[in-house]
Structure 1
Amino acid sequence: MEFCDECGSMMKAGEGEDHWVCTACGFEKGRNEQEEAAMVTTQGQEASEIIDVSDAEDKGLPTTTVHCPECGNDSAYWYMQQIRSADESETRFFVCTECEHKWREDDH
């Protein structure tokens, strides 16, 4: 993918594909095969480079001491998320480190 030096829009390969043409302003520039070969593309990425961390023990979230209403465990991962209007506080979500029960805590 190439972006226009003049307006910043995305460019496409022109006729004969030896140059780039801007889709917005029509600016043209030549293609450089060496630079393009060095670019990382989604087609060029191997599946082995993707690491699945969905079952990771710590889930990448901080933990806190809080009582799980489902199993009684005293440790949970937590995160905050804005689910209501912007003038209201965020909602705290907890996920039990033992049974993975999920619950939320709202400020009132």
Structure 2
Amino acid sequence: MSVSKDWMFCPRSGYLLDLDASNGTATCSVSGYKQGLQDFSSIKVELHTDMEDYRRRYNLEPLVKNNVDEELLKQRQRATVDEACPKCGNQGMEFYTMQLRSADEGQTVFYECPKCRHKYSQNT
């Protein structure tokens, strides 16, 4: 359902109307157009948002990756360290770091075994 938002703008200049509850008017600062707020009483405004909207707006990366992001992670090369996996004993762990705590504290290192996919983290 498409809802028109024309009521928010001046019909003469196209500028956004200033809503003044104390005077009970909606006024255009450019053309001087005025309309009573009672004319807007039948208008219902609904806003819907979700985490995807917030991530887009604030350029955030999700902490939990979806399937598409998993494919990107598989393509990305990670650094490796010569350390045995605590689960399967495979020599050589992939790792990456993130700053999850405050700036004056160390990073968190995330390890993943390329053989059994066992994952664990360590604060440094």
Normalising TM by the smaller chain, what interval?
0.3 to 0.5
What is the TM-score when the length of structure 2 is the normalising length? 0.39
Q: Which has the larger radius of gyration?
A: 2
What is the TM-score when the length of structure 1 is the normalising length? 0.45
